[in-house]
Structure 1
Amino acid sequence: MIFSELEPFLDKKRRELLAALDAFGPEERHLSEYEGGWNPAQIIEHLSIVEEQVIAEIGRLLSGEAVRPSEPEDRKRVDVMALFEQKGLLGTPKTSPPSAFPTGKVAYEDGLERLAEVRGRLKALLPLLAARETNSLVSRHPLGVELNACQWLQFSAVHEWGHIHQLKRIRKVHSG
């Protein structure tokens, strides 16, 4: 993946998320994959929390270093998939840090509005990331991998992708 593919990737994963959510009627939004698992409204809240944390982390990275001209697009590291695969993190269940747990108090529709607002703020970072060097703006992800500012942004969509699969599993469990 190259930098110019980030925004289309974010948009594609969001469309997939909304399609997965559309599979649940209003009377089904309490369903979870297993006892004590998150329901669709909680997943939406969790995604908003994580994306806000990503925005804060990227902001911290951007403010902590002198601005240098951007690398050429083909040298701007963006993709997290190889890193996650190398660490054995793809396709494995993970425990969310407590700071990203949903409260369960956010109504479904309010959660969707918040999710859209947060995504807008995340995408607003794209021009800032495009204009400056980002490969050296690195911090450690809770899963133990070092991510640069662009990789943090892509992580948002990859994280969302995992919860799309979770929603599909919930739907399958309750489809009879």
Structure 2
Amino acid sequence: MTTAFLMEDLRKSTRELTEALRLFSQEQLNQVPFPGSWTPGQVGQHLLKSETGVTELLRGNTQPATRQPDAHHETIRSLFLDFNIKMESPEFIIPDNHPKDREELIRSLEENRENVLQAASEQDLDLLLTDFDMPDWGPLSGQEWLTFMTVHSRRHTHQLHKIHRHLQG
């Protein structure tokens, strides 16, 4: 994967995500659509929590990869884009129960993504980012972090469309 492709794909997934969040009124954003579901606002907050810190990771400690820098790319894609499996979120990125403001949430997501893209444009994405180990995989390369952000976002964009259909009846 080229850096340009990964960055453009992240930009595209950002547009898809924000368009999905804009499908909801402010009231709907904080409405639980069905038992056991997050609200659309909580979905957005979960994404923001999972991505906050990636800029610092990209600018943090690195080491040369002892494997292909995109070795986990297909595994990440196939896992997160399999909408038939239910995943459990780590505790530290579970959203809170407070009401969310739609425009503030979208603005925060967009600003965080722009910061990540800026940092990515300044870094060698082939390096492993060693300040955080992804469960089961260890440190990911910059390439893999961009892939993760993109497909994780697409997974939850799919979830938002499902919630929207449910709320529309």
Q: Please classify the TM superposition score into its range, dividing by the shorter chain length.
A: 0.7 to 0.9
In 2, Cα distance between equivalents of 1:141 and 1:169 = 28
In 1, Cα distance between equivalents of 2:16 and 2:155 = 11
> Do 1:54 and 1:156's aligned partners in 2 also have CA atoms closer than 8 Å?
no
In 2, Cα distance between equivalents of 1:95 and 1:80 = 20
In 1, Cα distance between equivalents of 2:10 and 2:121 = 15
In 1, Cα distance between equivalents of 2:106 and 2:71 = 26
CA deviation vs aligned residue, 1:31-88 (integer Å, no higher than 9, x gap): 344324211111121111111143343333xx244xx8xxxxxxx74485412367x5
TM-score, with normalisation over the residues of structure 2?
Answer: 0.79
What amino acid does structure 1 have at the position aligned with 2:93? A
Match of 2:141 in 1: 148
CA deviation vs aligned residue, 1:75-125 (integer Å, no higher than 9, x gap): x74485412367x55412211111101123343322222212211211111
Match of 1:6 in 2: 6
Alignment partner of 1:159 is 2:124: no
> Do 2:33 and 2:163's aligned partners in 1 also have CA atoms closer than 8 Å?
yes
What amino acid does structure 1 have at the position aligned with 2:51? E
- State the aligned residue count: 162
**% same residue:** 25
> Do 2:62 and 2:127's aligned partners in 1 also have CA atoms closer than 8 Å?
no
Instruction: Give ranges in structure 2 of 5+ residues lacking alignment.
Output: none
SS in 1 for 2:30: coil
What amino acid does structure 1 have at the position aligned with 2:137? V
1:118 corresponds to which of 112, 115, 125: 112
When the two chains are superposed, the root-mean-square deviation of aligned CA atoms in Å is 2.7
Instruction: Give ranges in structure 1 of 5+ residues lacking alignment.
Output: 69-75
In 1, Cα distance between equivalents of 2:137 and 2:146 = 14
TM-score, with normalisation over the residues of structure 1?
Answer: 0.76
